[in-house]
Chains A and B, each alone.
Chain A
């Protein structure tokens, strides 16, 4: 039972990581100087929704969310939440592999501290 929950959560995290990479790729095409105040939100949203990569990201998020609901129905949030800590390592790897982000030793140390911190919270 626990293995099933663990595998489901791992799959949710993989889908989430994929969607974040697609969102970052889409956001990279936005002009940060063009980001509006409240009045310009519809235009900003329109620009975002024109990108196919955003829709692929939404598809992955939807699959992940559907799986997440089945996890929540079977497991306590107190178990499911800490296991999500693995996402930080997945995001580090994906940011470097697919987005070419430089992961310095300080950032790696940050990711490791956060992951161990989440494990400690999960065990407490």
Chain B
């Protein structure tokens, strides 16, 4: 029998946002790690050079640490709510980066990107609504 998942609470929602922040930190660290190898085109012949460059970069290890904490938080979340709800709300990371760029880097945001940001926010709204109103089905 399928185990019923619980409902979305403010605490779970905030934990999901924490996972998003850790994910952004990990992505940036991995990008720094990849750049530190100074290899821009990976093929079979330079793969081991690329791998050893990555293993000796701090970016890789900081990224892995972020992933470990993220994993523990993620398993806690998944033990409580549906994967389809948790994963859709994780898309809030697409909102975090533009807002951080606006606030800290004073970057301009093109009109189309504002539409994208608004659509994602609406999508998260619909998903959260579904997670609250579809709970306790009568089956």
Q: Which residues of A contact B (CB under 8 A)?
A: 20-21, 23-24, 26-28, 30-32, 35, 41, 44-45, 48, 68-70, 72-74, 77, 81, 87-88, 91-92, 95-96, 99-104, 106-107, 109-124
Contact = CB atoms under 8 A, between A and B. Distances in A.
Given A102-B137, A110-B126, A114-B123, A73 B42 contact: yes
Interface residues of B, number: 54
B96 interface: no
B118 to A, nearest CB: 7
11 contacts: A21-B83, A30-B79, A32-B80, A72-B34, A74-B40, A96-B84, A113-B120, A117-B91, A124-B111, A124-B113, A124-B116
Contact of A41 (B72, B94, B126, B131): B72
Given A35-B76, A117-B118, A124-B112, 14 more contacts: A23-B78, A28-B78, A30-B79, A31-B79, A73-B34, A88-B88, A92-B88, A99-B83, A109-B126, A110-B123, A113-B122, A114-B94, A119-B116, A121-B120
